[in-house]
Amino acid sequence: MENRINPMANELGAKVAKYIISAGKIVTDSALPNTVRELVNIRASQINGCGGCLDMHTKDLAAAGESTVRINLVGAWRETTVYTEAERAALELTEQGTRLADTSGVTDQAWANAAKHFDEGQLMALVAQICLINAFNRLNVITRTPGGDYQPGQYA
């Protein structure tokens, strides 16, 4: 698979990516745990079919010391025992926030469950992360940015 256009090699695309990355830094610097943030990135990227983002976030999470079992089971998180209740709440919110066109939006139950595990600042960071990864997924899927060549920390 080849890019239709390489967003990072395009002047406008690079500027857009720079601003999304800057917003992501705010979330990275928040109290939302890195593992939760990366699980959110992986799950949204699975739903959206973004190979470039899956390549990046699975490798970054592995490089941070996460087990391959937890990384590999994200897509079937409901049928596993390897995620905390907080992580499960974040994954549910991610799915509902990513599949907006398929549902009537995020349910009050999913929101309340996430609110049991995350304070207001963490919730806002979680919502922002869901928004940001969906933006990157769309940028990469539309331009056909392939996965496979990412090196952990490459864009740090």
55 found inside a domain: yes
89 found inside a domain: yes
Rounded to whole angstroms, the Cα distance separating 84 from 89 reads: 9
59 found inside a domain: yes
What band does 13 get if pLDDT is binned at 50, 70 and 90?
A: very high
Structure confidence at residue 28 (pLDDT) = 96
Query: How many residues are there in the chain?
Result: 156
Which percentage of the chain shows pLDDT scores above 70?
A: 100
Range of the domain at 129: 8-143
1 found inside a domain: no
* CATH number of domain containing 29: 1.20.1290.10
What band does 103 get if pLDDT is binned at 50, 70 and 90?
A: confident
**pLDDT > 90? residue 104:** no
Structure confidence at residue 155 (pLDDT) = 79
Rounded to whole angstroms, the Cα distance separating 28 from 102 reads: 29
42 found inside a domain: yes
What band does 140 get if pLDDT is binned at 50, 70 and 90?
A: very high
Instruction: Report pLDDT digits (tens) over 65-97.
Output: 999 999 999 999 999 999 999 999 999 999 999
Tell me what the pLDDT averaged over the chain comes to. Answer: 96
Tell me how many domains the chain contains: 1
154 found inside a domain: no
Structure confidence at residue 108 (pLDDT) = 97
90 found inside a domain: yes
Chain centroid to CA 91: 10
Rounded to whole angstroms, the Cα distance separating 145 from 137 reads: 9
3 found inside a domain: no
Rounded to whole angstroms, the Cα distance separating 93 from 52 reads: 22
| Cβ atoms of residues 125 and 41 within 8 Å | no
Structure confidence at residue 8 (pLDDT) = 87
| Cβ atoms of residues 17 and 25 within 8 Å | no
